[in-house]
Amino acid sequence: MDTVAPAAAGTAQPRTPRPRADALRNRERIVTAAREMFVEFGPDVPLDEVARRAGVGNATLYRNFPDRAALTHEVVLAVTSRTTDRAEEAANEGGDPFVALSRFVHAAADERIGALCPMLSGGFDKDHPELLAERRRLEEAVEGLVGRAMSAGRLRTDIAVGDVLVALSQLTRPLPGIACMNIDRFTHRHIQLFLDGLEAPARSVLPGTPATLEDLRSRT
């Protein structure tokens, strides 16, 4: 009979070292600072300025993100993930489904999701598996909100999920260099006007056809 030799007592199993708490905090500060500065000044802001706002040295920034593409990837992933969380929170709060959709749209504006648009140009890898998975999670969450509001008769039926995402992107897209962190008083005002136009019964006939998720994907 074959026998299996027992593992030597006390043999340590290799472990992947966990990042230290201060290292994780530094990384989070860098991503937060980059997100803010990309909104204010555009995606080409000097990385030295990002490090300065984050309160870390240049070496710390480059140790976490060796180049601009790596940092941009992390910012896009973080904003998309946080926006998806806002959609899921709105859905879980229950109540009037149109109010839930409205809560999400205003919350997504606070995440400044429109700031992603200028970042997705050039050599940025929009098809990175990590980003595609997060985008699908966002799309599914927003589809759920839209579907429930429409099924309840609270949302006009001549629109689609893409219409919501396109309008949200356009209404929250910053204009670099004009202190965009202070435009919330305009952004939320215009978003509410948009939401009023979505509510059923429809007050007008829309030109063209609804924007679907397939339409959006074909343009990216």
Structure tokens at 102: 């409205």
- At 220 the pLDDT is 55
- At 207 the pLDDT is 85
Number of residues assigned to the chain: 220
The span from the CA of 188 to the CA of 182, in Å, is 12
Q: Under 8 Å CB-to-CB from 88, ≥6 apart: which residues? A: 141
The span from the CA of 88 to the CA of 31, in Å, is 23
Q: Which pTM was predicted? A: 0.78
pLDDT, tens digit only, all 220 positions of the chain: 444 444 445 555 555 555 578 888 999 999 999 998 988 888 889 999 999 999 999 999 999 999 999 999 999 999 999 999 999 999 998 899 999 999 999 999 888 888 777 777 666 788 899 999 999 999 999 999 999 999 999 999 999 999 999 888 888 876 555 554 556 667 888 889 889 999 998 888 888 888 887 877 775 5
Contact between residue 172 and residue 108 where contact means Cβ atoms under 8 Å apart: yes
The span from the CA of 8 to the CA of 130, in Å, is 39
Contact between residue 37 and residue 23 where contact means Cβ atoms under 8 Å apart: no
Question: What count of other Cβ atoms lies within 10 Å of the Cβ of residue 190?
Answer: 15
